[in-house]
Structure 1
């Protein structure tokens, strides 16, 4: 099986989600709308590439003529290569605890530089001006002993709560900066507050409005 490009992996994940949710494959028009393709030909080109690589079977002459092949389904014979997708994490719980995983997306970790260890679904609009919107998915890398540089975007846990912000530190004082003037920075005193770095942001996926 040929490897998927990041865009192809996003589309395949979206199709899987729609089939699981609706018990029906999506239409080409729905795919075009979800990914803001400018023409039906763009959507069709991606579908044909997924079919050529063995993940889909296409049927002409029907609106919902998209079928997942054995390799395109999560229960297929192809070993699943991907990253765990984490949703909202309850305060005080491990980041990658099974109960907070929404599943796994077929995204190769090495598509990001450096490679990613997990995906995190964004909650809220505090990073809007960095083009990170509610529902977007961030690729995150975990590195033991990692020390962020000022201005770097990181996933941190502060007093049990997980957030995504830009890092700024001076001495024992850390400011976690949003990218939206409607939100205030989070002030952290390392001598008093509990702060743990969960990883650095290494990429972003936008999988369409229905995923």
Structure 2
């Protein structure tokens, strides 16, 4: 996940919204380095639009399991606006899928079913299975990435520099404790499991992550 967010950070610096981030569009080179691919649906944001985002005029495009609620807004007086926070949501879905082996929304549904049943309009908060055990810090990071309202969701820069990604679960717990004035780090196997999925930047771990990504299309 560190490498994926690093790639998104570079795209954001070029004012690019990928718009179709999903496992099938993440490849690994011979050194195990993650590469974001397939820019067929990408959006360019002009310099003056970076804060307000851009109008989304292509509703219906993309891979629905990885798109946030704003990508499904229709019927309003104006097209919905999107920013690179859309890519943060997609990355959050990927991370969730890596940890739990399933997507957080519409797992057993087709894209047509998701639209018909308005899945992204009624599911307001991500839910976590009881198993496998995942650290509170990993869950908190996913919650931030999957914040329903765009205003509550971090942009790419904030997500890429989040204490959980930069320093691991212990750093995230310390940051949360400092903010709340209380609390402590999650430990043991729980933190280690999330760290393994979120910080697999060595060759062996990256290749293992690649195998998981390729199976989650």
TM score, norm. by length of structure 2: 0.26
TM score, norm. by length of structure 1: 0.26
The structure number with the bigger radius of gyration is 1
Question: Larger RCO: Structure 1 or Structure 2 (Cα < 8 Å, ≥ 6 residues apart)?
Answer: 2
Structure that is richer in strand per residue: 1
Structure that is richer in helix per residue: 2
